[in-house]
Amino acid sequence: MRSEKYLEEVPVKAYGKGELAEMYYPDSSPSWALRLFNADLRRMPGLTDTLRSRGWRPSARLLRTDWVRIIFEAIGPP
């Protein structure tokens, strides 16, 4: 498990999917950032399964706080 220090740096809260994608890829266009972010989610073994078990679906535009925490733990904070 990653350090809890990210909690101080990037707040764990609900984010729009595009907003979070742009935080991970600030130098990309919004649409490209979203593509890259979605690829990151699919690339991590078990991440989408874990998110789906918590009610997430790929078309969700708002990421709940619990999903954001899972994402940060899996791929790190932006």
| pTM for this model (two decimals) | 0.86
Domain with 55 in it: 6-75
Question: Which tokens belong to 27?
Answer: 């130098």
Cα distance between residue 4 and residue 44, in whole Å: 20
Cα distance between residue 2 and residue 25, in whole Å: 20
What is the 8-class DSSP label of residue 74? H
pLDDT in tens, 4-37: 544 458 899 999 999 999 999 999 999 999 999 9
Q: Contact 41/47 with Cβ under 8 angstroms? A: yes
pLDDT > 80? residue 74: yes
In this structure, is residue 62 part of a structural domain?
Answer: yes
The identity of residue 71, as a single letter, is: I
In this structure, is residue 1 part of a structural domain?
Answer: no
Domain count, the chain: 1
